[in-house]
Chains A and B, each alone.
Chain A
């Protein structure tokens, strides 16, 4: 997608390139009308940015730096802190109790990002074969989970997954009593159950994104593929999927960030339990900093989580968008 709207002088790159000087105006006039040539650097720009930068700096960038500093300390939040060096980070690698949350997060990535993206692609392939009536309705409904507060989603799903909830009732009604269980209280099923909620939330997002992208794929490509005798499957792999590269990158970025930022849902549905079966980094940061008084360890986990998110986002951008962008 080359940006045709970009203005020529902005396209020179780093912005600070040598500005074109305006025509020299004789001294007196210049003093009276100190007009700049269009596009010349304007110091007043800093003034416009200042208020936003102040709030952003004080309440986001500065604390980010502080988290980095705290992660190098042993501190319980009350007494004097002691220097820890890299201890907190080393513990993240060696202590199984600190490593488990990251393993759980990896499982959740499958449910939050991989599964919704795959489902979205398959559905898109089916939905772009012909014009769907009532698409606005379907889009509105499928995207709905995205706008609900995660707290509300958690309360709704807790009642569905409860021992006497809708899911177990349905299973019993069709004679699958053996499968019914306390989904969120089961050691091995709690994590997939939380993941399934994530799949429910994110699938609509992926589908809506892909459908919008598929509509930008020129129809002629499909016609050409059909003339060449391509069936639905070939059509998907040769036309739809390549055409959706950018959308897949966006979908994976949004969903993987949602998967790793996953605090609200875990807090409401399981509080990390049973045992620590559903503890995730985002939840552990909160628990260790504000409940068990391990501020240093919590900070190290926060920094690591951030690094993981940034790294994964970059990998996705590289992998999916390829080198031609």
Chain B
């Protein structure tokens, strides 16, 4: 929307280089700073720790507080898996997430390749059309989308979840991959062309193998969004067979709201896959999520 250019995705902050130790800060100031940081870290972790401690507590205790459970009780997870049907919900979530990630990656890469390396009339206008999707709220499309999908017989199917979520992810995917293609050295493509590579071989043999970091970021971000998506599943799915985990948790809360231990175990099961990937690849997550807003 504004005319500022997007930040380069690879422009990582170099942590230590510029932060030389200087002598103008007093030991007291240092202590206070670390104290504040620890306090905020504690606040960020408390709800997460609360969920975990409740999930591991025995079911009979009604205490929702933060006391450490006396013995680790893994039974709640098994219960959520079987009695709460989270095994089935996880299958639905995995099917939808894998399909959305695959579709988004392929479609976004193809489109972004054209936007980033070729020139043709109307390319800018078409690109801005995709960029609009970055800030478009679901509420603007969800109502007619439901009636359309019902008309096409796609409600209560995986496709009814996959296709709309792919459309939503494409905005970010096209934007992100175009930035990557624009930032690859021009000379590389020219060299490939001189060697007789077609536009297709340049993409598959030269640009894709080089772009692994960009793909990794795109994959984890789209996976997280799809995995956590709630409203789309709530509207499009009413039968249990296609329920995804966030939807399962919402229904579970409605039925067993007093069973806090089971509810917490279910919540932990949902959060676990994303948190594990996040801990392994936190730089990619942060990078991707913060670049989404830097529009052109």
Interface residues of chain A, those whose CB is within 8 Å of chain B, are: 1-3, 5-7, 9-10, 14-16, 19, 38-49, 51-53, 55-56, 58-64, 66-67, 69-70, 77, 123, 126-127, 129-132, 135-153, 155-157, 159-160, 162, 164-166, 169, 200, 203-205, 207-209, 211-212, 215-216, 218-219, 226, 246, 250, 253-254, 257, 260-261, 263-264, 267-268, 281-282, 285-286, 289-290, 295, 298-299, 301-303, 305-306, 309-310, 313-314, 317-318, 321, 325
Contact = CB atoms under 8 A, between A and B. Distances in A.
B174 A286 contact: no
A41 B119 CA distance: 5
Contacts of A16: 119-124
B96 to A, nearest CB: 14
Contacts of B29: 129-130
A208 B146 contact: no
Contacts of B285: 143, 146-147
B253 A126 contact: no
Contacts of A126: 32-33, 36
A7 B4 CA distance: 16
A166 B37 contact: no
Contacts of B97: none
B70 interface: no
B95 interface: no
Interface in B260-293: 260, 263-264, 267, 270-271, 274-275, 278-279, 282, 285-286, 289-290, 292-293
Contacts of A77: 147
B140 A267 contact: no
Q: Which of the listed residues A6, A203, A250 has the most CB atoms from chain B within 10 Å of its own CB?
A: A250
15 contacts: A10-B119, A15-B121, A38-B190, A42-B120, A59-B167, A62-B148, A63-B145, A126-B36, A131-B16, A151-B267, A159-B51, A162-B64, A166-B50, A286-B139, A302-B139
B167 A268 contact: no
B139 A142 contact: no
Contacts of B267: 151-152, 155-156
Nearest to B252: A155
A159 B264 contact: yes
Interface stretch (B80-88, B104-112, B205-213): B104-112
A226 B23 CA distance: 12
Q: Which of the listed residues B32, B145, B146 has the most CB atoms from chain A within 10 Å of its own CB?
A: B145
Contact of B230 (A1, A47, A208, A263): A263
A216 B268 CA distance: 37
Contacts of B228: 148-151
Q: Which of the listed residues B44, B45, B186, B282 has the most CB atoms from chain A within 10 Å of its own CB?
A: B44
A55 B167 contact: yes
A53 B111 contact: yes
Interface string B229-271: 0110011000000000010011001000000100110010011
B142 A302 contact: yes
Interface in B1-60: 1-5, 7-8, 13-16, 18-22, 24-25, 29-30, 32-34, 36-37, 40-41, 43-48, 50-51, 54
Given A140-B282, A149-B230, A200 B119 contact: no
Given A41-B121, A59-B164, A131 B141 contact: no
Contact of A130 (B5, B19, B145): B19
Given A147-B224, A155-B263, A310-B135, 5 more contacts: A2-B5, A77-B147, A130-B25, A253-B135, A290-B235
A207 B138 CA distance: 27
A127 B148 CA distance: 51
A306 B22 CA distance: 48
A323 B141 CA distance: 33
B270 A149 contact: yes
Interface residues of B, number: 117
A159 B64 contact: yes
A51 B227 contact: no
B44 A152 contact: no
Nearest to A313: B135
Contacts of B136: 60, 64, 306
Given A156-B50, A246-B4, A166 B119 contact: no
Given A15-B119, A66-B148, A152 B271 contact: yes
A264 B231 contact: yes
Contacts of B123: 15-16, 45
Nearest to B275: A147
A42 B34 CA distance: 56
Contacts of B170: 52, 55-56, 60
Nearest to B47: A156
Nearest to A307: B140
Contact of A209 (B142, B147, B278, B290): B290
B183 interface: yes
Contacts of A41: 118-121
A145 to B, nearest CB: 6
Contacts of A2: 5
Contacts of A63: 141-145, 148
Contact of B44 (A144, A166, A261, A295): A144
